[in-house]
Amino acid sequence: MKISYSWLTDYLPTQLSPSEVAAKLTQIGLEVEGIEEVATIPGGLAGLVAGRVLTCEKHPNADRLHVTTVDVGGGEPLRIVCGAPNVAAGQLAVVAQVGVTLYPTDGESFRIKKGKIRGEVSEGMLCAEDEVGLGKGHEGIMVLPPDAKPGSPIAPLFHVESDTVLEIGLTANRADAMSHYGVARDLAALLNLTTPTKAKLPAVKLPPLASSATAVRLGSFTPGLATRYMGLTIRGVKIGPSPAWLQRRLRTIGLAPINSVVDITNYVLHSVGQPLHAFDLKSFASGAVSVMTLAEGTPFTTLDGKARKLCAGDIAICDGTTPLCLGGVFGGLNSGISLSTTDLFLESAVFNPTAIRKTAKRHGLSTDASFRFERGVDPNGTEYALLRAAQLILEIAGGAIDGKPIDYYPDPQAARSILFNPARARQRIGAEIPDGEMLRILDGLEIGYRWLGSGTEGSYHPPLSQAVASPSRATKGKSNTAELQGGEAQHPGCAMQSQAEGVVPAESLLELSVPLYRVDVTRPEDVEEEILRIWGYDHVPIPSTITYTVPAPRDDSARRLQAEVGDFLVGAGYTEIMGLTLTAEGIYSQLKAFSPASLVHVLNPLSSDLNVLRPTLLVGALDAVARNTARQRPNLKLFEFGRVHHLTGAKGSAESPLEPYRETTNLAITLAGKNHPETWAEPQRDLTVFDLKGAVENVLGYLGIPLGRLEYSAPPEGIYGHGLTIALKGVCLGHFGEVDAGISKAFGIKQTVLYAELAWDTLLATNGQSKLKFASLPRFPEVRRDMALLLDQTVTFAQLQRTALKAEPKLLKDVWLFDVYEGEKLPAGKRSYAIGLTLQDPETTLNDSTIDGAVERVYQALVKAWSVERR
């Protein structure tokens, strides 16, 4: 935020230099990030001189250009090519000679060079007002008064002055300091510690107002949209340029003057922090102003000429139901002030901060007004700002106020009451600040106080509206009362209970009255912070010892296990990645497994590419593969731990509004390319789904999950070309397979991508359920037997393995598949498996009869369960 030093001193005259003011503001928390000496016009019009156009002829090679000779007060006249339609011989114009730097109203500065334009030499430039930072006009060159002397600097003609601008890095909670008066008020609180000091606003004096109703009356107001809405009508104004002093003020803080009325509203905004808006009175055909929301999709064109569609929650200032303005954010194209305006309606209001922020985000609009409304504006300051702006309009643009102001204030707000314990404040601050010093600080901060026991009251400063020589006004709602009530305070027992201090006597407590412009001061701790801020952090003594509480250890076994598995995968050659949690909704049109109803949408997305919380880690994995393969890194082994989100379809309630939402942690494993880097020792091969299956089983085995008990079924539709779902006792642990080629192509990937996604939270719950059994090393030999089985193609080896182990739990130690055959020699729908059986008895050597009996029991179990045949 830019603060002009000279503007600041209008409200707080001081002998402090700009650098001293900057140091004191930083001391009290308004950090000054930069100090800049500026001219009221960018560049100060340095190097620009008056020049008389001696001759003006058509350019021989261009229809719209002229070749001029210009007298700049010495030496030979300059030859300058000019494209302005109004250039003529005899004019006095603004001349930028070769070497001069121009600072245009819009765009970057540039240096004038000698050159040729369509074959004709040009030794300078005849300037329009936007080319030298004096406005936005570009219709033609500036024509100076006839008494200007050729060769004389033009800066004195435009009253160029210098000022110092302080760049303040304001925190979001300090809405009260978002104006020159607000900064002056805070600085005065510090200076008040040594010398009685107050920031003062200029008094508003208006001619007596007619008691008749104003031309614009209060219409329909939707509750909750406007805390307060005031307005008045001014007739007979003459719109034109602002006076030099007003233009200088605005240019100093980086604002371009527009016209007298708009400049006045901007000036008052940066003076006291209250946004204003002026309407052409012709916009109110119905004669009533309404504040409401309109139907979704209502068309509306804003001042920037952009056609928009209103959203259901946007605050609209309306004539009837016709939108004229996005309330608190941006004006409408057809209701603003123009040079033809003679009658206007001036608005001063306070709108709902949440609604303003949502509207600004939805439409991508951030204005000085919305910036302040989002953070909080004092409803008791609207009247002063309205009448101050009206006073300036009458002085600068003429006209007269028609009727009394309108005022919608359904719930008048008084100063905020806080019960405050000075003794506790001293304890928390860590310094013995005397009561008198605290009271002086409260007085400087315009916080009224009263000792509960004695009834003694300190000074209390009224809100801005009470600084006005207030005319009568039409008020809709309750009366506006902002007084601190006397008498006995209504606090139970007039005492405060504290575990550390016991009962605090009433005479030791203060009842504070905090002005509404301090939206950040709502509790005793905030007041303590304010006292310390003004008193000075550097005054707090540093203790010789510091005591602190060591937090109790927490159970982070899950985090440690995740780190262990991550280290395990890194050791196996994998690289950990981190994908974006926010994704684009359009991506999931390719991923049929995720229906639109299951997606969790972001209410106010940063962009359309970041509007959905990811329901899967697959998107980040495919993005990583696409990015790496595009950079000639096709061989990839990746993993990611990340949270995913989805809607369950359940209905939320007031007690459990988040019931429909689910957030879980998943583990993704991704493979692509070759199995290892190219080397002479071993040929490369493409990674297959069995490599991925091995990686998944390695992770599950590391977690102690019995692989022999895993259940496999078809994968979820819409992700894999072919793959499997893994479960244990009916509980899904995840899925894996080869990503569908169409999905890979949508991400720009040409090679095969293998992907697995495991439900990490479920794996953690499963981990540890299986008990480890320890046994001595076997003393007796193991025996191998093989079987060649004919079976249906629908039967998987995992099903055979589980059946075999269950049929012979004592002697059968392992079952594995070592050959698969499918061919024309087999019946249709059949395949052949060659499986190996390992048998062992821990207590004796197996004989043939025992072995044959065990193998036969296994075979009969397979026949019964899966109708297999021996080959």
Annotated binding site for Mg(2+): 520, 526, 529-530
Sign of CA dihedral 282, 286, 291, 294: negative
The residue among 121, 126, 105 whose CA lies nearest residue 50 is 126
Helical pair 368-375 and 353-363, crossing angle rounded to 10 deg: 140
Contact predicate 734/726, CB 8 Å: yes
- Name residue, tokens 């010093």: 437
Half-sphere exposure of 684 (CA within 13 A, CB side): 11
Q: Where are the alpha helices (DSSP H) in 203-285?
A: 244-252, 260-272
Backbone dihedral angles phi then psi of residue 253, each to the nearest 5 degrees: -100, 15
Cα separation, 436 vs 419, whole angstroms: 18
Question: Which residues, 6+ apart, have CB-to-CB distance to 485 below 8 Å?
Answer: none
Identify the bridge partners of residue 115 per DSSP, sorted by sequence position. Answer: 122
Reduced to 3 states (helix: H, G, I; strand: E, B; else coil), residue 543 is coil
Burial class (CB in 10 A: 0-12, 13-18, 19+), 297: exposed
Distance CA 441, CA 193 (A): 7
Sequence ranges of the binding site: 520, 526, 529-530
Give residues with Cβ within 8 angstroms of 687, minimum separation 6: 671, 672, 673, 674, 675, 752, 754
In whole angstroms, what is the distance from residue 531 CA to residue 422 CA? 10
* Residues in Cβ contact with 199 at an 8 Å cutoff, skipping those fewer than 6 apart: 11, 12, 181, 184, 185, 187, 188
> 670-700 burial by CB neighbour count: b if 16+ within 10 A, else e?
bbbbebeeeeeeeeeeebebeebbebbebbb
- CB 357 within 8 Å of CB 374: yes
Enter the DSSP assignment of 361.
H
Judged on CB neighbours under 10 Å (0-12, 13-18, 19+), 813 is: middle
In our burial notation (b when 16+ CB lie closer than 10 A, e otherwise), range 311-326 reads: beebbbbbbbebbbbb
Contacts of 759 (CB under 8 A, 6+ apart): 664, 666, 732, 733, 734
Alpha-carbon gap, residue 731 to 743, rounded angstroms: 27
**DSSP secondary structure letter of residue 709:** G
Tokens 């339609």, residue? Answer: 85
Helix (H) or strand (E) holding 307: strand 307-309
In 3D, which of 176, 93, 86 has the Cα closest to residue 140?
86
Q: Half-sphere exposure (CA, 13 Å, Cβ side) for 121?
A: 6
| Residue 659 CB neighbours (<10 A) | 12
Distance CA 318, CA 294 (A): 9
Name the residue among 671, 662, 699 with its Cα closest to residue 562.
Answer: 699
